[in-house]
Amino acid sequence: MKNYPHIVIISLTLLWRSNGYGKVFNACELKTLFTKSLVNQTSKYRSSVNDWLCLTYWESQFNSSAIGRLNKDGSLDYGLFQLSNKYWCHEKRRGKACNVQCNKDFTDGDLEDDMKCVERIYGEHSRLSGNGFNAWVAWKARCRGHKKHSTSKFWRCKERNTHFVKKQDAEKEMEDMGLKVNK
């Protein structure tokens, strides 16, 4: 994969301390990120910013430290994009298809490794099914074909306090939002 000059700029923009802190983003921040991201600018699999906003909202409520509940197959999903440890990351060390450690690399506020993995997942599912978003259950259930979520009007940048959170605080915040968290 070629190195692109804007990757460095995006990486610096996304780089947050990875010391056990996640970040709860707002739609504005993510809209900017997705507009400038690898997924939208350099990939031959161009995709909609609104689809990414919808996906990350329903997967993690824009929370980079989200850890989903146990799936039927025994796997867990991590981070902003809820990436599964079944295929993409390993629990105890770097590994699997994205060569990362799930609970370390996908739950911090640094989205660089998440975005690299998302690019890979999106590309593979584009080749397999014709639509890279098919990799995410939440997108299929809540975003695909939903006109409300596919318009930029819905995702207008409502300012919301964005803050760093400790993982424990993030879990409580997610529970308060009605999301189940595996502890």
Residue numbers annotated as active site: 59, 77
DSSP 95: B
Residue whose pair of structure tokens reads 């809540």 in the numeric block: 142
CA quadruple 73, 79, 81, 83: dihedral sign: negative
Instruction: Say whether 5 sits in a helix, a strand or coil.
Output: helix
Region of 108 please: left (phi>0), alpha (psi -120 to 50) or beta.
Answer: beta
Distances in whole angstroms, Cα of residue 91 to Cα of each of 102, 113, 118: 5, 15, 18
In degrees, rounded to 5, the angle at the alpha carbon of residue 56 between the alpha carbons of residues 53 and 59 is: 145
First to last CA, the chain: 37
Contact in structure between 141 and 105 (CB atoms under 8 Å): no
